[in-house]
Amino acid sequence: MREFQSLLQAFLIDYLPKRRGFSPHTIAAYRDSFVLLLTWMDTCCHVTADKIIMADLDVDHIRRFTDWLQHERGCAESTTNARIAAIRSFAKFVQSEAPEHIEICRRLLTTPIVKVPEPAEIEYLSVEGVQFIVAAAAEDIRDLAIVSLLYDSGARVSEVCGVTIGDLVFSRPHTVRVMGKGRKARVIPLSTEVGDILGRYVTAERAEAESTEALFINRSHNRLGRAGIAYMLQKSVTAAHRAHPTAVPPRVHPHIMRHSKAMHLLDAGVNLVYIRDFLGHRSVTTTEIYARASTAAKRRAIEAGEANIVPTSPYGKEQRADLVDWLRDLL
């Protein structure tokens, strides 16, 4: 009978990367979920990793584990649900690999997710705020390239980290190819101005690099990671906030640039379906959060509705006066 340790190893090393083709980021997230589970089992249940068996993964243990995540570690509901999703995915795998554990897995698959509160209002910057941040980054060509690409592409920070020099098209129309969630590639159009900035950056900083090399690197000549890009962005944000405190908040994380681009596209009248494809969302339902948050989009919808519901009166001024007199006589 295959037990937990053997099954978990096969799940992380063979099933996720080879059979499902999951990205390294996704596999790392699944791995971290089980690292936390093993930590909890050791500290709270006094069962070390080498002693855990499948029967230990009962619903009561998983419920106590999720309570620990929220109350002891302070994890958000969405993070806790991501850990539950990893355990459910493992249960589905075990069902087919080790049918002798099928009843345990069936119960694991019934583990309820944590209720998530209504999402907070989307954080985004005004067009003017983005312009101030870009202007603050202009002193360093690499900072300028990073900030400009983050906003203009609307890409996730992990997608920007993964861009290689060969993913850029420097001739017009400028584009960048990114690898999104689920290892799905998409090509994003870039403005002429941002395309030129990236061209200047590559010429100045990466002229000798191969096309397969990372676009952005650190001082050790390794691919720049999420923390590095967030640091570069925050430098420009701090400078912009100092000069324009009402337009630029003191702190901005990279995802706010993505939100800002989506909101600006929506406010410019771009169809939600095109914004979905631009951002790489799987469903337009995800993209609808921007429509709910956009005041300009709401105003256009209301004005369009008023035009249909309250049409222009067919009566002229004299006709309206005659109609009023007729109604008075009638009454």
- Dihedral angle at the C-alpha atoms of 267, 273, 275, 281, nearest 10 degrees? 140
Q: Kindly list the catalytic residues.
A: 156, 181, 255, 258, 281, 290
Tokens (6 digits) for 219: 């001082």
Q: How far is CA 88 from the centre of its chain?
A: 22
Residue 168's H or E segment, with its range, is: strand 168-169
Cα separation, 170 vs 147, in Å, equals 18
Whether residue 144 contacts residue 152, with contact meaning beta carbons closer than 8 Å, is answered with no
CA dist list (Å): 320 to 251, 314, 325? 59, 9, 9
Whether residue 115 contacts residue 70, with contact meaning beta carbons closer than 8 Å, is answered with no
